[in-house]
Amino acid sequence: MAVKKKKRIGVLTGGGDCPGLNAVIRGVAKAGINQFDFEIIGIEDGFLGLVEKRKVQLHWERVSGILTQGGTILGTNNRANPFRWPLKGKKEIKFKDISDQVVAYIHELGLDVLVCIGGDGTMSIASQLSEKGVRIVGVPKTIDNDIVGTDLTFGFDSAVSTATEAIDKIHTTAMSHHRVMVVEVMGRYAGWLALHSGIAGGGDIILIPEIPYRLDIIEHVVKDRSRKGKKFSIVVVSEGAKPEGGERVVQRVVKDSTDPVRLGGIGHQVADQIENATGLECRVTVLGHLQRGGTPTAFDRVLATRYGVKAAELCQEGKSSEMVALRGTEIVTVPLSEVGGKMRLVDLNHPLLQVAERVGTCLGR
């Protein structure tokens, strides 16, 4: 009798790191090994590992004890796009499509399915590989919560908790010194992180990319608070926020990256504008990569584990070109083709915006 061949499942983490990545890896591997007798192959440093042919066997012992660990045991990379691979010349960077090379290596490894854990950039690359015949299952990861097709990405809750804790601590120094404190959070072009942490942290003003702010309205709110005895204000601003009629603040451009624009600096711009308009002293705190580090919250550990197990189940069922997602309280799937290259932004009619305004929070409009 012929011995039935084990399914061989590849796993990679792409894009920026965030809490919960290891929990997904663990969920895929443990469910795959324990329930379905899979062989699990980890690809190192995202799609870069597929280009450079770097892999590691993920045995049960290798993924045991990583649930609470931050980052990713596989490593990640946010510049490696096989469809736009940078070739550095003497004067400029040129790009080449080397995806056929990556597809050949996937076949060389004998992978039945490749589980890609990442954000919109990773899902876009995964969708393109799927079109070239690679069997892909996607898992949505980002602290920005901006992936289409899912209510929540893992990593978001952890980042909100970190940002909220920082805002809580900034409150005390703001009150002591009677200052306007501006807290710049991540989020890129979506305002979910600023909106949630701003509401949770009791921000007086929350500025998000979807609502260009008016300086005269912010000035009025800050002055009015001061007149009423509130001699401090907390402003939570998303890195992608911009003034009405103005542009986003770009920190730098990384030409060979899959997402070349690096936002940052809006917090200082807002602080300068407020100080010049009101005469009140302002200070800025940029939370930066703090929001992406550390151990995942209990919520993210559960969500990431559910995502990982569902991904393993899809591999067992022979399904591909799908991304696992959360709809309400249920884990569902959505076609990768509906996800890649798109962003889930804060709808201007979203109930949380109304909640914020009804408790007296200014949204700059």
d(CA 155, CA 121): 16
Contacts of 126 (CB under 8 A, 6+ apart): 114, 116, 118, 136, 138, 336, 340
- Cα-based angle 162, 163, 164 (whole degrees, multiple of 5): 90
Q: Count the neighbouring beta carbons within 10 Å of the beta carbon of residue 64.
A: 11
> For the chain, how long is the longest CA-to-CA vector?
86
SS3 (DSSP) at 54: coil
Written as one string, the DSSP assignment of 200-260 is HTT-SEEE-TTS-B-HHHHHHHHHHHHHTT---EEEEEETT--BTT--PPEEEE-TTSSS-
Nearest to 189 by CA among 212, 167, 157, 205: 212
Q: Encoding tokens for residue 192?
A: 């979910």
Residue 142's Cβ-side half-sphere holds a number of Cα atoms within 13 Å equal to 30
Active-site annotation holder among 45, 112, 120, 144: 144
Written as one string, the DSSP assignment of 291-337 is GG-SPPPHHHHHHHHHHHHHHHHHHHHT--SEEEEEETTEEEEEEGG
Contacts of 360 (CB under 8 A, 6+ apart): 204
SS3 (DSSP) at 282: strand
Q: How far is CA 33 from CA 62, 214, 320, in A?
A: 12, 55, 19
Residue type, 323: M
Given a contact cutoff of 8 angstroms between Cβ atoms, the answer to whether 193 and 163 are in contact is yes
Q: Encoding tokens for residue 30?
A: 């443990």
Annotation says 144 is catalytic: yes
Catalytic positions: 144
